Amino acid sequence: MTKIDSKIPEGQLAEKWSNYKAHQKLVNPANKRRLDIIVVGTGLAGASAAASLGEMGFKVFNFCIQDSPRRAHSIAAQGGINAAKNYQNDGDSVYRLFYDTIKGGDYRAREANVYRLAEVSNAIIDQCVAQGVPFARDYGGTLDNRSFGGAQVSRTFYAKGQTGQQLLLGAYSALSRQVHKGNVKLFTRYEMLDLVVIEGRARGIIARNLVTGEIERFSAHAVVIGTGGYGNAFFLSTNAMGSNGSVAIQCYKKGAYFANPCYAQIHPTCIPVHGDKQSKLTLMSESLRNDGRIWFPKSWKMPKLFRLEPKKQQIFLTKTAISIWNVVIPHSETWFHVM
């Protein structure tokens, strides 16, 4: 029976990864050039991993199912990216970001990994800025933040309603630089069919060339999987049709464990379905409600609890809603018709 080992270091929560980094085995720069790494996926996870590994000196083979990394579904993210920089001076910290993330995940996430995520959040923002991601800035020129996702403080960095697109373009630029330098070899229009496991370790993949139909094999010293979610398992969601979980199931068949498969991100605030031929839902940014937006039903045939008298309806719609929305105009350019 396979033993479940999360590879989490020993020690106190706040010191686990710091101690691990201080004592981990290093790879000599001259030896990095001899090591091959396969990265499957070219979204925010795959492209950034391939670019970073190439920058570190490893020889990287990056596989993309689309015709360009820019078509990854990471482009659909709207709200923003969190970091504990405390630019708003409202008491934010690594621990507060860690706590909010754990609580937001229904306490199901691994605490040590989430704490590490909170630790590196500030460095991630710095990396994105260095890659040219045009985050929103306040009138003084510093990076702006907004409230998002029920967090205790305003810690979300954003680029209008296009945060995912701008982050992906930044990661793609870094990836293209490594491709140009020869550190990363990019394979577009390839679909991973199977994972090659030798003595319990992933050592390669079997992939199909979607242009020629030929099935090819690739070997490496390590394999990184960054192929996105499996939202297409649901009838309708905000996920792309390519988010079908095909790579995840191949890893599962080779012995990888699959935790909380029911815990998929679903957005309730979507533009309504227009017909039976629609393949996915279109998201209305969830950042709106934290900035003061209020959703109004198309029909006023609501439960009694939410009903208002006709005069109060008119006052509420024309006065309260518009005054709330006016406050938000500098922070977002998403417009909705009130009446």
d(CA 41, CA 225): 7
Q: Any idea what DSSP says for residue 210?
A: T
pLDDT tens readout for residues 153-202:
999 999 987 899 999 999 999 999 999 999 999 999 999 999 999 998 99
Buried b (16+ CB within 10 A) or exposed e, 193-214: ebbbeeeeebbbbebbeeeeee
Token pair recorded at residue 190: 């390839």
CA 339/CA 320 separation, integer angstroms: 12
Whole-angstrom Cα distance, residue 156 to residue 217? 42
Specify whether the CB–CB gap between 239 and 279 falls below 8 A.
no
DSSP string, 86-131: -TT-SS--HHHHHHHHHHHTTT-S-HHHHHHHHHHHHHHHHHHHHT
Q: How far, in Å, CA of 46 to CA of 227, rounded?
A: 7
CATH number of 16-253: 3.50.50.60
Q: What is the pTM of this model?
A: 0.83
Tens-level pLDDT at each residue, the chain (339 residues): 567 888 899 999 999 999 999 999 999 999 999 999 999 999 999 999 999 999 999 999 999 999 999 999 998 887 889 999 999 999 999 999 999 999 988 888 899 999 999 999 999 999 999 989 999 999 988 999 988 777 889 999 999 878 999 999 999 999 999 999 999 999 999 999 999 999 989 999 999 999 999 999 999 999 999 998 888 877 778 888 888 889 999 999 998 888 878 777 767 677 777 788 887 887 776 656 555 566 665 555 555 545 555 544 444 444 444 434 444 433 333 334 443
Best CA proximity match to 42, nearest among 233, 208, 242? 242
Q: Where in the chain is the domain with CATH 3.50.50.60?
A: 16-253
43 close to 73: Cβ distance less than 8 angstroms: yes
Reference 241, options 250, 231, 251, 249; nearest CA is 231
Structure tokens at 216: 């090819």
For 306, the token pair is 């939410």
